[in-house]
Amino acid sequence: MRSSHEFTCINCPLSCPLELVEEDGRVLEVKGAECRLGEKYAEAEFTDPRRVVTTTVTVRNGTLPLLPVRSTEAIPRRLVREAVESLASIAVEAPVKEGQVILADLLGTGVDVVSSRDLNTLSGHK
């Protein structure tokens, strides 16, 4: 059965409205894209949507109670909720450096989760 799906390209400020037409899961065409990036974006969103995970984890003995973290690459969108839930149970010890691995191999994806900033201890040690 043929059907269409709408997306908005996020690759540049033009935000082209995209219409992907598929038949039984096979992509037939992408309309509305001003360039190839939009076509690739719509195809990826339809076949294998992925997102970078951004959240916070608890910090012990830090100048802030929470540390912002992010995945180093996008993971399958269907795993994002589970990823955020698993990171909610993690606590790290200050000090922490930007880019430090907080959790390796997130949910078996091969993608690491790293700190998005430096965070000192309450006593000021880096």
Q: Which is nearer to ligand SF4, 41 or 62 (CB)?
A: 41
Least Å from the CB of residue 75 to ligand SF4: 22
Identify whether the C-beta of residue 18 lies closer than 8 Å to the C-beta of residue 34.
no
Q: Which is nearer to ligand SF4, 38 or 95 (CB)?
A: 38
Q: Is 11 in the site for ligand SF4 (CB under 6 A)?
A: yes
Distance CA 100, CA 15 (A): 33
Position among 6, 23, 29, 34 found at the interface with ligand SF4 (CB under 6 A):
34
Give first-to-last CA distance, the chain, whole Å.
Answer: 60
Q: Is 44 in the site for ligand SF4 (CB under 6 A)?
A: no
Tokens 């000090």, residue located: 95
Q: Which amino acid is at 80?
A: V
Q: Is 47 in the site for ligand SF4 (CB under 6 A)?
A: no
Helix/strand/coil for 98: coil
List of residues contacting ligand SF4 (CB under 6 A): 9, 11-12, 14-16, 33-35, 37-38
